[in-house]
Amino acid sequence: MSRIALITGGQQGIGLGIAEALAGAGFTPVLAAQLPEDDATVLAALTRLGRKARYLRHDLAEVAAVPALLERIEAEAGPVTTLISNAGVPARIRGDMLDLTPENFDFATDINLRGAFFLAQAVARRMLALDGSDYRSIIFVTSVSAAMVSIERAEYCISKSAAAMMAQLFAVRLAPAGIGVFDIRPGIIETPMTAGVADKYTARIEGGLVPAARWGQPSDIAEAVVPLAEGRMGFATGAVIPVDGGLSIPRL
């Protein structure tokens, strides 16, 4: 069976880094995001990934569109054997959590949690119908914010904390079928999402916030994902893997 990796938000940042690494490992990367298919970012990503890569427009918040997405992937490439649940949105407005509006709360949770859950649910159902001799995996890219508090972006932390529990739930549900489920928790990674706070975090990193004393790169996340997708850590299903340069280690 061909190894088909569906990567949400795979057109840039962490998702693109993962897509490149998986393509190099022999997977066919299928990217899904909200952008139009002729968007410059999408076209640049497909050029980097090579002729086997595909891009399908999909809004994670539209859970009713998930079956059509997966049917198209199966028709054009084959059934998904690896899901990289990576797409996510930051807090719309960083500020006092006491001023957080329901609209902004829903914006984060609709994509980071609700959309991610129902896509993973649909993929899991289809994975269970596949020949179990081929390894299958679901990898949730959550965040150190699943366990580290940032009161100026409460909705993001809440969505990622719940997504971490989602990963545990899927791990237990799918373990009897040999489907590996993992929770990758990036720290401060240099991506378009963090560009607006780059100066703030550079100063904090230089001040000792991150023991590794540098920004993380998408390639750092990708290096952790590949062995998980290949099945080399299958019996570690449910593992939580921080990729954060030591940021989340409690210190005095």
Chain segment 104-123, per-residue pLDDT in tens:
999 999 999 999 999 999 99
With contact defined as beta carbons under 8 Å apart, do 220 and 150 qualify?
A: no
Helix, strand and coil content of the chain, in percent to the nearest 5, comes to: 50, 15, 35
What CATH number is associated with residue 180? 3.40.50.720
Report the pLDDT value the prediction gives residue 206, as an integer from 0 to 100: 96
DSSP, collapsed to helix, strand or coil, labels residue 126 as: helix
Q: What is the mean pLDDT of the chain?
A: 96
Report the pLDDT value the prediction gives residue 132, as an integer from 0 to 100: 77
Domain presence at residue 99: yes
* CA distance linking residue 209 with residue 201, whole number of Å: 9
Q: What is the pLDDT of residues 9-40, one digit of tens each?
A: 999 999 999 999 999 999 999 999 999 999 99
DSSP, collapsed to helix, strand or coil, labels residue 77 as: coil
* CA distance linking residue 106 with residue 200, whole number of Å: 27
Report the pLDDT value the prediction gives residue 214, as an integer from 0 to 100: 97
With contact defined as beta carbons under 8 Å apart, do 176 and 132 qualify?
A: no
Domain presence at residue 177: yes
Residue with tokens 């904390």: 161
The set of residues, in sequence order, having a beta carbon less than 8 Å from that of 33 and lying 6+ positions away, is: 8, 9, 10, 11, 15, 42, 55, 57, 58, 87
Q: Which residue, among 160, 173, 179, 190, has the nearest Cα to 87 in the 3D structure? A: 160
Averaged pLDDT for residues 154-177: 98
Averaged pLDDT for residues 50-61: 95
Residue 1 has pLDDT above 80, yes or no: no
Residue 75 has pLDDT above 90, yes or no: yes
As given in the structure block, the two tokens for residue 35 are 């952008």
Report the pLDDT value the prediction gives residue 37, as an integer from 0 to 100: 95
Domain presence at residue 250: no
* CA distance linking residue 62 with residue 58, whole number of Å: 8
Domain presence at residue 86: yes
Domain presence at residue 218: yes
Domain enclosing residue 74, as ranges: 4-242
Q: What is the pLDDT of residues 182-192, one digit of tens each?
A: 999 999 999 98
Averaged pLDDT for residues 37-44: 96
Residue 146 has pLDDT above 80, yes or no: yes
Report the pLDDT value the prediction gives residue 133, as an integer from 0 to 100: 81
Question: Looking at this protein, which amino acid is placed at residue 35?
Answer: L
Domain presence at residue 186: yes
**Percentage of residues of the chain with pLDDT beyond 70:** 100
Could you give the number of structural domains in the chain?
Answer: 1
Domain presence at residue 247: no
Report the pLDDT value the prediction gives residue 83, as an integer from 0 to 100: 98
CB atoms within 10 A of CB 178: 17
Domain presence at residue 101: yes
Backbone angles phi, psi at 224, to 5 degrees: -80, -30
- Please name every residue paired with 243 in a beta bridge, in sequence order, or none if there are none: 186
Report the pLDDT value the prediction gives residue 196, as an integer from 0 to 100: 85
